[in-house]
């Protein structure tokens, strides 16, 4: 059984697959406690893998499943991914903080390490290879990510409720990308479009 916060169909709003329709499977529970996290980890319902498959299959045209959280690597393994892939016929992607090893049969790995933040329980990032590295940028030294092998590197401004702080975060992120052309800007377009 898996504690699932929600399963929904929307557009991927961040990173490489921005704008792509996807079914999001959001797990409850995380090993970190980032102050800016938008997931309510106490909420959720216990679901079997078959119940997850049944909900995902309500959206047959979606080409992607995004396993997100929370931290999905705390709950999934190779058998989970294999069965989900076989029963849904979809590409399986994951968004992870990188503090746990991952099943090797995932189709796409988005690594978003959180080791640069204060105020929370931090664990070292153990993943050193991914398809996409997505860093929530708050002015940290980008050299700390040099040892991570990634096909694509994205900086994303930290979203916050304070409009002035959000604008400052955006400006700093744009400047960092301009100074570091190996990185690209990723915006949370789902927030801009006011969709899930």
CA distance 130 to 151: 7
Q: What is the pLDDT along the chain (196 residues), one digit of tens a residue?
A: 999 999 999 999 999 999 999 999 999 988 876 666 666 656 789 999 999 999 999 999 999 999 999 899 999 999 999 999 999 999 999 999 999 999 999 999 999 998 655 554 567 889 999 999 999 998 889 999 999 999 999 999 887 778 888 788 889 999 999 999 999 999 877 666 666 7
Confidence (pLDDT) at 162: 80
Instruction: Give the CA-trace dihedral at 136, 139, 144, 147, to 10 degrees.
Output: 50
The set of catalytic residues is 24, 30, 34, 37-39, 95, 190
pTM value is 0.90
Instruction: State both tokens at 88.
Output: 């849904």
DSSP string, 117-171: -SSS--------EEEEEEEEESS--GGGGTTSEEEEEEEEEPP-S-HHHHHHHHH
Residue with tokens 């997931």: 39
CA distance 165 to 131: 30
Q: Vertex 14, ends 74 and 112: CA angle to 5°?
A: 40
Domain boundaries, the chain: 2-133+187-192
Instruction: State both tokens at 84.
Output: 């989900």
Show Cβ contacts of residue 188 under 8 Å, excluding neighbours closer than 6 positions.
13, 14, 156, 159
The DSSP call for residue 190 is H
CATH topology of domain 2-133+187-192: TIM Barrel (3.20.20)
């Amino acid at each position: 059984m898996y504690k699932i916060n929600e399963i929904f169909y929307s557009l991927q709003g961040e990173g490489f697959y921005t704008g792509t329709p996807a079914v999001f499977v959001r797990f409850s529970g995380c090993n970190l406690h980032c102050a800016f996290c938008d997931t309510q980890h106490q909420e959720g319902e216990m679901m079997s893998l078959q119940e997850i498959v049944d909900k995902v299959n309500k959206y047959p045209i979606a080409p992607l499943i995004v396993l997100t959280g929370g931290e999905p690597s705390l709950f999934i393994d190779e058998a989970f991914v294999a069965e989900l892939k076989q029963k849904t016929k979809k590409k399986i992607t994951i968004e992870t903080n990188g503090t746990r090893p991952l099943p090797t049969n995932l189709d796409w790995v988005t690594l978003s390490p959180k080791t640069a933040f204060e105020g929370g329980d931090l664990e070292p990032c153990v993943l050193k290879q991914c398809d996409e590295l997505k860093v929530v940028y708050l002015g940290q030294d980008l050299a700390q990510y040099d040892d991570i092998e990634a096909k694509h590197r994205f900086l994303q401004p930290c979203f916050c409720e304070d409009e002035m702080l959000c604008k400052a975060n955006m400006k700093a992120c744009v400047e960092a990308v301009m100074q570091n052309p190996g990185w690209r800007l990723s915006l949370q377009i789902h927030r801009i479009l006011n969709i899930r």
